[in-house]
Amino acid sequence: QQQVKQSPQSLIVQKGGISIINCAYENTAFDYFPWYQQFPGKGPALLIAIRPDVSEKKEGRFTISFNKSAKQFSLHIMDSQPGDSATYFCAASISYNTDKLIFGTGTRLQVFP
């Protein structure tokens, strides 16, 4: 119940295309869903996050779509660029039981020119 399932494991996208990464969870107590971007040899960086009271959040080329009834959320990267090539982790947390982030397994994105 504490798991967050992430797919695909790897993704290859042409420059300018849309990258889509999906995550699913079981625990309905989760109420904070961040996405992290990690470049090789670096620490994860908080990219964008959403709470279940909204269905979509957009920051620049990055959009989170959230489907509360399906217990799914996804990251869309519009106009993907080679500089977006990184590993992306979704995560989930329970606000009142803070400090624990449950990470997905990660998606390695490669954007080719």
Q: How far is the CB of 104 from other proteins (least distance, A)?
A: 7
- Nearer to other proteins by Cβ, of 17 and 101: the residue is 101
- Nearer to other proteins by Cβ, of 15 and 51: the residue is 51
Q: How far is the CB of 16 from other proteins (least distance, A)?
A: 27
Q: How far is the CB of 50 from other proteins (least distance, A)?
A: 11
Residues 35, 109: contact at Cβ < 8 Å? no
Which amino acid appears at position 90 of this protein? Answer: C
β-bridge mates for residue 52, sequence order? none
The token pair that represents 48 in the structure block: 């964008």
- Nearer to other proteins by Cβ, of 17 and 85: the residue is 85
- Nearer to other proteins by Cβ, of 36 and 84: the residue is 36
Question: Which positions touch other proteins (CB under 8 A)?
Answer: 32, 34, 36, 41-46, 49, 87, 89, 93, 95, 98-101, 103-106, 108
Tell me the CA distances in angstroms from 37 to 1, 17, 69, 104, 109, one per residue in order: 24, 18, 26, 12, 10
In this structure, how many other beta carbons lie within 10 angstroms of the beta carbon of residue 73? 26
